[in-house]
Amino acid sequence: MTTEERSGRPRVVVGVDGSAPALDAVRWAAEDAVRHGLPLRLVHACATPPLRHHRSTAVASDSLDLLIDRGRQFLREAVAFAVHVCPGLETEQDLRVGQPAEVLLDAAAGARMLVTGSRGLGGFRDLLLGSVSSAVSDHATCPVVVVRSPALGGPPRWDGPVVVGVDGTPASEAAVAVAFEEASLRGAVLVAVHTWSDVAFSGMWMTLPLIVDWDVVAAEEAHLLDERMAGWQEKYPDVEVRRVVRRDRPVRALLDVAQDAALLVVGSRGHHDYAGLGLGSTSRALLHSACCPVAVVRPHH
């Protein structure tokens, strides 16, 4: 049983590694923890480098001690920053020895949300998504937020709408739940995006009329989105919902609508992805391309 399960209070968990993207993630996670009235757990993994040569036990121990000292410093700086951003925030420090992705996944068991920066100290400058954030997005059981900036070197937006992709799948429904909660707590507009494409009808041409009335199809897709939103709007009457229905590819439409968003929320997989294979193609593409924080939510959340 995890600490969260014993106490009945989940945490917001954030990965810390001393990098600028990690501090962006700390700020985002601190503000989210305050909104939800939850503690913030800051986690650092001391990853020991692979041994290339035989080394004495003393040398290996000294190397680990240095990593631990550096990790403690990273955590102290991150905690000071989080409390500066959100005075009175309840924080916890968690330093462990192990590979970062494995440590974060274990630390986030039972968490409300796991937050990471888009890249860490080990990331390459031109890569938009680091290996750790990619791995935890693939395997975490709680929602994962990868904090991205509008442009390299620029700070993330802290205002703007919450955008959610809606396709009618269980993963999409879980994403909608998180999106409504975030929009309500932020006092933000929720933009619900539903896409459809004539390509989706390929392979079914024998059962379709020779001439398809795409206006009718568009009206049916808009009605589907209305149905998906109805129950949630009753639960969150304070949230203003704007609907966007487009004949387009999901990734392209979501990237366009989310240009000025504070948060983009998507399910871990949709209609055209295979169960059990980690992230779906849409969520993976958005993690690599979106210019705002992206939340990936699994169906069983």
Express each pLDDT in 85-103 by its tens digit: 999 999 999 999 999 999 9
Give the CA distances from residue 218 to residues 93, 179, 204, 225, 244, in Å, rounded to whole numbers and listed in that order.
Answer: 51, 24, 18, 11, 11
Query: Does 279 lie in the same domain as 241?
Result: yes
130-155 pLDDT, tens digit each? 678 888 988 898 999 999 766 555 66
Cβ–Cβ < 8 Å for 33, 86: yes
Query: Does 201 lie in the same domain as 279?
Result: yes
Residue 156 located in a structural domain? no
Residue 140 located in a structural domain? yes
- Domain, as residue range, for 14: 3-147
Average pLDDT over residues 190-196: 93
Average pLDDT over residues 64-69: 90
207 has pLDDT over 90: no
Query: Does 137 lie in the same domain as 36?
Result: yes
Average pLDDT over residues 38-60: 74
Average pLDDT over residues 50-56: 57
76 has pLDDT over 60: yes
111 has pLDDT over 70: yes
Q: Residue 14: what pLDDT?
A: 97
DSSP state of 207: G
What are φ and ψ of residue 114, in 5° steps?
Answer: -115, 130
DSSP state of 300: T
Query: Does 176 lie in the same domain as 288?
Result: yes
Q: Residue 295: what pLDDT?
A: 95
Query: Does 194 lie in the same domain as 285?
Result: yes
CB atoms within 10 A of CB 2: 14
Residue 157 located in a structural domain? no
Q: How far apart are CA 240 and CA 284, in angstroms?
A: 28
For the ranges 109-118, 185-194, 207-216, the lowest mean pLDDT is seen at: 207-216
Residue 152 located in a structural domain? no
31 has pLDDT over 90: yes
Query: Does 123 lie in the same domain as 69?
Result: yes
Report the domain count for the chain.
2
Kindly report the pTM of this predicted structure: 0.83
44 has pLDDT over 50: yes
122 has pLDDT over 50: no
Residue pointed to by tokens 């330093």 = 95
For the ranges 112-121, 127-136, 287-296, the lowest mean pLDDT is seen at: 127-136
Give the CA distances from residue 11 to residues 32, 94, 102, 114, in Å, rounded to whole numbers and listed in that order.
Answer: 10, 12, 18, 9
Give the end of a domain, one of 119, 147, 175: 147
Q: What percent of the chain has pLDDT above 90?
A: 52
Query: Does 267 lie in the same domain as 170?
Result: yes
Residue 70 located in a structural domain? yes
Average pLDDT over residues 175-186: 96
116-129 burial: b if 16+ Cβ within 10 Å, else e: bbbbbeebeeeebb
User: Looking at per-residue confidence, does 37 or 211 come out higher?
Assistant: 37
Query: Does 199 lie in the same domain as 141?
Result: no
Residue 106 — pLDDT band, cuts 50, 70, 90? very high
Give the full edge-to-edge strand order of the sheet including 241-247.
91-97, 40-46, 12-15, 113-117, 144-147, 294-297, 263-267, 162-165, 190-196, 241-247
What is the residue-averaged pLDDT of the chain?
82
274 has pLDDT over 80: no
Average pLDDT over residues 7-26: 88
Query: Does 14 lie in the same domain as 83?
Result: yes
Average pLDDT over residues 286-295: 90
203 has pLDDT over 70: no
